[in-house]
Amino acid sequence: MIIERPAAFVTPEFLIRLATESWEIGGAASLRHRTFVTEQGIFEGHDRDVTDRHALPLVAISTMASEADEVVGTVRIHEDTPGVWWGGRLAVAPAYRRVGRLGVELIRLAVGTAHARGCHTFLAHVQMQNVAMFESLEWQSVGETDLRGHPHMKMQANLAAYPSVTDPARGWMSLRRRAA
Ligand SMILES: CC(C)(COP(=O)(O)OP(=O)(O)OC[C@H]1O[C@@H](n2cnc3c(N)ncnc32)[C@H](O)[C@@H]1OP(=O)(O)O)[C@@H](O)C(=O)NCCC(=O)NCCS
pLDDT tens-digit map of 53-104: 999 999 999 999 889 999 999 999 999 999 999 999 999 999 999 999 999 9
**How far is the C-alpha of 163 from the C-alpha of 22, rounded, in Å?**
28
- Confidence band of 2 (pLDDT split at 50, 70, 90): low
Nearest CA to ligand 1 atom 37: 97
Would 97 be classed as within a structural domain?
yes
- Domain hosting 161: range is 10-168
Would 3 be classed as within a structural domain?
no
Would 177 be classed as within a structural domain?
no
Q: What is the mean pLDDT of residues 22-42?
A: 97
Would 93 be classed as within a structural domain?
yes
Question: What residue ranges line ligand 1, CB within 6 angstroms?
Answer: 35, 90-92, 97-98, 101-104, 126-127, 129-130, 132-133
Would 64 be classed as within a structural domain?
yes
Model confidence pLDDT, tens digit, residues 109-128? 999 999 999 999 999 999 99
CATH no. for residue 164? 3.40.630.30
Number of domains within the chain: 1
Would 175 be classed as within a structural domain?
no
**How far is the C-alpha of 126 from the C-alpha of 154, rounded, in Å?**
6
